[in-house]
Amino acid sequence: MTRGAVLLFVLILLLFGCGQSGPKKYPVAGTVAYRGEPLPLGTLMFVPKQGPAATATIGVDGRYRV
């Protein structure tokens, strides 16, 4: 392969091989409470219709962030 062909190949890979694929992602945060008190431990799982699930660990104050 010539030097120009290799450069063109690398340029094509950079243009079409990069970028975010899949559904858009958004930050989620909140507090989990049970009977009015923050839940001190646990794990939340967010399951979308399409794409991978996301999990969050509940902190001692009931807060989580994904």
**pLDDT tens figures, 15-42:** 665 566 667 788 999 999 999 999 999 9
What pLDDT does residue 16 have? 65
Q: Which residues pair with 43 in a beta bridge?
A: 57
Query: What is d(CA 7, CA 13) in angstroms, rounded to the nearest whole number?
Result: 10
- Domain range summary for the chain, segments of one domain joined by +: 22-66
Least Cα distance to 25 among 54, 45, 49 occurs for 54
What confidence score (pLDDT) does residue 22 get?
A: 67
CA dihedral of residues 5, 10, 11, 15 (deg, nearest 10): 140
**Structure pTM?**
0.61
Q: Are 47 and 55 in contact (CB under 8 A)?
A: no
Q: State pLDDT tens for residues 43-57.
A: 999 998 888 889 999
